[in-house]
Amino acid sequence: MKVNGVTIEDSFAEAFDIKIARVLITAYDYEWALIAATEATGFGTSIIMSPAEAGIEKKALPEETPDGRAGYYIQICHMSEKKLENQLIARIGQCVLTSPTASVFNGLPAAEKKFDTGNKLRYFGDGYEKSFEYNGRKLWSIPVMQGEFIIENEIGYTEGVAGGNFFIMAENQPSALAAAKSAIQVISDIDSVITPFPGGIIASGSKVGAKKYKFLKASANEKFSPTLRSVVEDSHVPEGVEAIYEIVINGTTLDAVKKATRAGILAAIKIPGVVRITSGNYGGKLGKFKIYLSELFKN
């Protein structure tokens, strides 16, 4: 299929189930909310060696936040429920509780499953903390140096999707990168999804395990390495492609991940020099979800 003159391969992205907690951080303004959100979601690219997958979802307008302040939604993701809870405690406790003017609310108030993260963190108040009700939410106020820190008693989490993805192939590196950046900026306004890698982009895709160094859990995917096109057998790098970037998308629903994939591809293919879009999978054997690129562009 061709869209905007760019070939979109008849491929599918293989995505996985993961547990996702969604946290709403508000502050004086978007800038301070973003500072807390950035620190709290850092070192959170891939579960392979990061303690969690984490990212900033999108702005929360004042009219949608419990305290009427500007904010950001963040998502923290893990396969393990226990580790997800630990990550919530550590990341909120270390990176939001300490962040100027930040408050923490449940970003998934309708979720059935909840961690009592606020209840665990309120002990930091050492007995001076107080609970109160506000618009049906149970909140804690903890006296701190800046005045007080507000956190909701519970944070919701849900069964979500990890590893939605697409690959941008271009005739050179700046072209692939401009396309990836454009895609990420568009995805950053879409509800319910994050792109956990640095700037939302992956420069170095991996395969499961390794051919030579057997002790590795993951290694570079040489079939997608442009400099190895003439070296490895069955390279997936088309002729004329000098650089590839991958966008990985996690989200609380499959539909949101699909929507983000489509919007990201549409943005990417507008950049000159982009020649091909594809997606990554493991033959459909590992992941629970398949996102067919062709299906996204039917209408």
Site for a copy of itself in 7-66 (CB under 8 A): 28-32, 35-36, 38-46, 48-51, 54, 59, 61-62
Touching a copy of itself, residues 80-109 (CB under 8 A): 89-91, 93-102
20 or 111, CB closer to a copy of itself?
Answer: 20
Residue 175 interacts with a copy of itself (CB under 8 A): yes or no:
yes
Residue 212 interacts with a copy of itself (CB under 8 A): yes or no:
yes
Residue 177 interacts with a copy of itself (CB under 8 A): yes or no:
yes
How far apart, in whole angstroms, are the C-alpha atoms of residue 219 and residue 95?
A: 31
* Smallest distance, a copy of itself to C-beta of residue 91, A: 6
Interacting residue with a copy of itself among 79, 138, 210, 288 (CB under 8 A):
210
Q: Measuring CA to CA, which residue among 180, 157, 162 is closest to residue 250?
A: 162
Residue 185 interacts with a copy of itself (CB under 8 A): yes or no:
yes
In contact, 66 and 199? CB cutoff 8 Å: no
Going from the C-alpha of 232 to that of each of 27, 132, 141, 226, 279, the distances in angstroms are 51, 63, 59, 10, 20
How far apart, in whole angstroms, are the C-alpha atoms of residue 40 and residue 94?
A: 8
* Smallest distance, a copy of itself to C-beta of residue 211, A: 6
Touching a copy of itself, residues 117-156 (CB under 8 A): 123-128, 142-149
Residue 216 interacts with a copy of itself (CB under 8 A): yes or no:
yes
In contact, 12 and 281? CB cutoff 8 Å: yes
* Smallest distance, a copy of itself to C-beta of residue 237, A: 9
* Smallest distance, a copy of itself to C-beta of residue 9, A: 15
Going from the C-alpha of 266 to that of each of 6, 7, 29, the distances in angstroms are 10, 12, 31
- What 8-state DSSP symbol labels residue 180? H
